[in-house]
Amino acid sequence: MRGDEREKEWALLMRAGNAGDTDSYRRLLVQLTPVLRAVARRGLASAGMADTDAEDVVQETLLAIHLKRQSWDEAAPIGPWLRAIARHKMIDTLRRRGRRIDLPLDDFAEVLAGGESEPNMLVGDVDRHLECLPAGQRNVVRAVAVDGASTGEAAARLSMTNGAVRVALHRGLATLAAKFNMEET
């Protein structure tokens, strides 16, 4: 699929996600992941750094895309928005690790993502930050993410209301994203 067609598809999925279609939204994130991974590897490589951190960058970028998705204007193309977020998170990562480079990410949607499989990560940044979350949020994020429970199942398992699970999940994810920022100072 050509780059601009791919971006149109992503925009469709994002609009559907914004309208409440969680399945389209999940498909969007799944489709973006290998592209983000290739971009992260290339960015780290061009800064002369090992690409073992690439998956951390991917996860942090996915979190940012999710938490800032309202900042995409549905009438605008999605490519520049995605590129800007990916670049921002890449630069953040390099700055945290003491590098600063000018990062060209122009052909984002043209990036070939073939063969870029997910590496086996024992403990990533997200896991470290997850440990620092308040227990309520941590349990909900774990139940939904790692155990694959729906919010309803998580509510039943943790003896919480659906609403409380949703709030804890959202706060937990927002806290995770904030932890990345607190690291740099």
Residue numbers at the binding site for another protein (CB under 8 A): 17-18, 20, 22-23, 25-26, 29-30, 33, 55, 58-59, 62-64, 66-73, 76, 79-85, 87-88, 118, 121, 124, 126-127, 130, 141, 144-146, 148, 150-151, 166, 169-170, 173, 177, 181
Instruction: Name the residue nearer to another protein (CB basis): 49 or 167.
Output: 167
Q: Is 103 left (phi over 0), alpha (psi -120 to 50) or beta?
A: beta
Q: Give me the least distance between CB of 58 and another protein, in Å please.
A: 6
- Helix (H) or strand (E) run with residue 156 in it: helix 151-157
Could you tell me which of 24, 27, 30, 11 has the C-alpha nearest to residue 80? 11
Indicate the burial class of 154 (C-beta count within 10 angstroms; 0-12, 13-18, 19 or more).
Answer: buried
Instruction: Name the residue nearer to another protein (CB basis): 48 or 122.
Output: 122
Helix, strand, or coil here: 148? coil
Q: Give me the least distance between CB of 181 and another protein, in Å please.
A: 5
Instruction: Name the residue nearer to another protein (CB basis): 48 or 166.
Output: 166
Q: Give me the least distance between CB of 46 and another protein, in Å please.
A: 20
Contacts of 128 (CB under 8 A, 6+ apart): none
Instruction: Name the residue nearer to another protein (CB basis): 48 or 143.
Output: 143
How many Å separate Cα 76 from the centre of its chain? 21
Q: Give me the least distance between CB of 163 and another protein, in Å please.
A: 10
